[in-house]
């Protein structure tokens, strides 16, 4: 068969339901995909298409597939940053001008390899269909192995046409059982014993579970170990919801996007167990939490994560879920001092009491803390919550509570990621409700994807925290402006915009919420809909999200 038929049949046989792209690329393949039942989703920008594929990969475990022609390749590569940081499996397909056109000023032709090198773990050029059958398998295997990350196949031809039209004798690939994380290596018994001895040597143990722990799906094993050690559990933002956020052992997100208790608890520990956590500046509050000199035990499936930031007393190279199970078996149920856990619970309880009045506030404009509480109450048991970066991550990561069965996806740093990502998440999980929290500043990036949601019938609830500006930096910049507030407004304020009215112009439903008492009804109406609904919530830009504690 030709390359177009082979690729379409391989994607179908591998369980793919959607293919995200910006025209013009792989047109023969797109027609073949439609024939075999894989839905092509045309986006309005390459970055939006990548963000859809990113969330699709995170939810399904299969690589989200995204494609663009040679001219759009640089835009596509830029969009892969979030997927790379979030350990998301993505298969990027791009066209490149044929060899005879290279180095001759062909229209908008750039060297593709340097663009993709920082944001992929595997890349290859594909000359013809016979090469595709081999490199597709290799790329897929790389994308789902630990740590899962984007891969790139650069196809011969502006639109990949030389790969599409040449022939291969290979049978279509069927890789649907190759899900991230594909391999779950086990830790040697002597390392397990060494880690258990370290963990039992002090009663002041704190656990920090990161994105790798969430990928491993080790929530039950994590709770078993923490209960045995009487150790409080903090998480990275990406691991929010790995355990019930209201569990007595949970102290919330740690680092720069934290509410105060998590940083206080981790800083006070004598030993910190990092599980699938990258120990970067975001999760350690710029390497201040835990404090320098704290003893460290670390579990990770990626050996490159050891010794990045802290000297490691015991390093356990293995899948977090299996490693935690082995540790639980080794440790058993020892008698432990509860003092440190009691301190942690007291800090958490005091903080929850302090923020409770804001969660029931009737203030107009609306306090986003009230919005977070209403979303917590409205989320279905199997809902997917998708949050943008910046303040959207802080509001949802500190004030929206999640239970097992619910999934939290967050932007790894690219503003505007959440809305197209929510569409991709819904494609991967059509029977689950998807709620997106986006600020108005973030939504302007990819507002045209409202048309994509309507055209393709992708139903999500898009909640806009609409404060007519970039809220995270607003008070500090206003202070810097001194007696010239207009100067600050020119930089960080915009709108006001009625996004509910804009949604209706796109042929979708929109609900404008201006008073707190309207929130519950608006969310219930939106969740009951079978199309995308924009819930535009007018919030107060002067309301501050929880601030992280620093030593």
145-203 residue pLDDT tens? 999 999 999 999 999 999 999 999 999 999 999 999 988 999 999 999 999 999 999 99
- Strand partners for 90: 64
The C-alpha atoms of residue 155 and residue 102 are separated, in whole angstroms, by 14
Please state the CATH superfamily assignment of the domain spanning residues 3-165 in this structure. Answer: Thiamin diphosphate (ThDP)-binding fold, Pyr/PP domains (3.40.50.970)
* pLDDT tens digits, 13-42: 999 999 999 999 999 999 999 999 999 999
What per-residue confidence (pLDDT) applies to 439? 97
Q: Which of 35, 41, 43 is nearest to 18 (CA)?
A: 41
Q: Report residue 483: phi and psi, to 5°.
A: -85, 20
pLDDT at 99: 84
Looking at residue 483, what is its pLDDT? 83
Give me the residue label for tokens 């309005």.
44
Q: Is the pTM of this model over 0.85?
A: yes
Tens of pLDDT, residue by residue over 431-447, are: 999 999 999 999 999 99
3-state DSSP helix/strand/coil percent for the chain, to nearest 5? 45, 15, 40
Q: Which CATH class is domain 360-538?
A: alpha beta
Across the beta sheet with 64-68, the strand order is: 39-42, 18-21, 64-68, 90-96, 151-156, 122-126
Q: What is the CA radius of gyration of the chain?
A: 24
Question: What is the spatial distance between Cα 434 and Cα 427, in angstroms, rounded to a whole number?
Answer: 10
CA–CA separation, 113 and 120 (whole Å): 10
Distance CA 34, CA 327 (A): 48
pLDDT at 488 over 90: no
CATH 3.40.50.970 domain locations along the chain: 3-165, 360-538
Residue 295, strand partner residues: 271
Q: List strand residue ranges (DSSP E) for 440-495, in order.
A: 461-466
- What are the start and end residues of each CATH 3.40.50.1220 domain in the chain? 189-344
Per-residue pLDDT, 100: 86
Q: Is-contact 234 321, C-beta < 8 A? A: no
Fold category of 189-344 in CATH: Rossmann fold (3.40.50)
Average pLDDT over every residue of 460-467: 98
What is the residue-averaged pLDDT of the chain? 96
Q: What is the pLDDT of residues 366-411, one digit of tens each?
A: 999 999 999 999 999 999 999 999 999 999 999 999 999 999 999 9
What is the SS3 assignment for 94? strand
Cβ(237)–Cβ(278) under 8 Å? no
* CB 206 within 8 Å of CB 232: yes
Least confident interval from 65-74, 105-114, 418-427: 105-114
Query: What is the pLDDT, as a whole number, of residue 478?
Result: 87
pLDDT (mean) for 328-338? 96
What residues are paired with 157 via a beta bridge? 96
With helix as H, strand as E and coil as C, how does 96-152 read?
ECCHHHCCCCCCCCCCHHHHHHHHCCEEEEECCHHHHHHHHHHHHHHHHCCCCCCEE
Q: Is a pLDDT exceeding 90 seen at residue 334?
A: yes
């Amino acid at each position: 068969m030709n390359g177009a038929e082979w690729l379409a049949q391989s994607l179908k046989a591998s369980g793919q339901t959607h293919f995200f792209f910006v025209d013009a690329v792989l047109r023969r393949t797109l027609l073949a995909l439609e024939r075999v039942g894989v839905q092509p989703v045309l986006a309005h920008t390459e970055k939006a298409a990548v963000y859809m594929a990113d969330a699709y990969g995170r939810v399904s475990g299969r690589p989200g597939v995204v494609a663009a022609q040679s001219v759009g390749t640089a835009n596509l590569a830029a969009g892969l940053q979030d997927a790379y940081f979030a350990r998301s499996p993505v298969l990027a397909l791009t066209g490149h001008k044929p060899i005879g056109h290279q180095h001759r000023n062909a229209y908008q032709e750039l060297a593709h390899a340097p663009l993709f090198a920082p944001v992929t773990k595997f890349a290859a050029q594909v000359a013809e269909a016979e090469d595709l059958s081999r490199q597709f398998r290799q790329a897929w295997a790389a994308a789902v192995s630990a740590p899962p990350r984007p891969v790139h196949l650069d196809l011969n031809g502006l639109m990949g046409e030389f790969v599409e039209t040449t022939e291969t004798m290979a049978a279509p690939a069927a890789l649907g059982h190759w899900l991230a994380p594909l391999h779950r290596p086990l830790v040697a018994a002597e390392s397990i014993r060494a880690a258990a001895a370290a963990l039992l040597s002090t009663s002041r143990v704190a656990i920090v579970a990161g994105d790798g722990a969430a990928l491993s799906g080790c929530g039950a094993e994590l709770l078993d170990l923490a209960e045995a050690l009487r150790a409080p559990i903090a998480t990275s933002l990406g691991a929010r919801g790995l355990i019930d956020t209201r569990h007595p052992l949970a102290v919330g997100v740690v680092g720069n996007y934290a509410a105060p208790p998590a940083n206080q608890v981790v800083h006070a520990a004598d030993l910190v167990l990092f599980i699938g956590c990258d120990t970067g500046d975001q999760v350690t509050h710029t390497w201040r939490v835990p404090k320098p000199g704290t003893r460290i035990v670390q579990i990770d499936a990626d050996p490159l994560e050891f010794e990045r930031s802290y000297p490691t007393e015991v390093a356990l190279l293995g899948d977090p879920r299996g490693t935690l199970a082995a540790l639980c078996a080794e440790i058993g149920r020892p008698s432990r001092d509860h003092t440190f856990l009691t301190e942690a619970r007291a800090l958490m309880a005091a903080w929850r009491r302090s923020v409770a009045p804001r969660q029931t506030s009737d203030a107009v404009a609306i306090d986003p803390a009230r919005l977070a509480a209403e979303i917590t109450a409205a989320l279905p048991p199997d809902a997917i919550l998708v949050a943008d970066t910046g303040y959207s991550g802080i509001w949802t990561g500190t004030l929206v509570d999640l239970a097992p069965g619910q999934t939290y996806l967050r932007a790894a740093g690219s503003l505007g990621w959440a809305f197209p990502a929510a569409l991709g998440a819904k494609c991967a999980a059509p029977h689950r409700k998807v709620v997106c929290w986006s600020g108005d500043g973030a939504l302007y990036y990819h507002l045209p994807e409202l048309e994509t949601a309507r055209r393709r019938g992708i139903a999500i609830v898009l909640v806009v925290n609409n404060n007519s500006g970039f809220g995270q930096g607003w008070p500090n910049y206003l202070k810097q402006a001194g007696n010239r507030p207009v100067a600050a407004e020119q930089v960080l304020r915009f709108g006001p915009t009625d996004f509910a009215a804009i949604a209706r112009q796109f042929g979708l439903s929109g609900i404008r919420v201006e008073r707190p008492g309207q929130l519950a009804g608006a969310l219930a109406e939106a969740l009951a809909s079978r199309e995308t609904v924009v819930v535009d919530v007018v919030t107060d830009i002067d309301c501050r999200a929880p601030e992280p504690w620093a030593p």
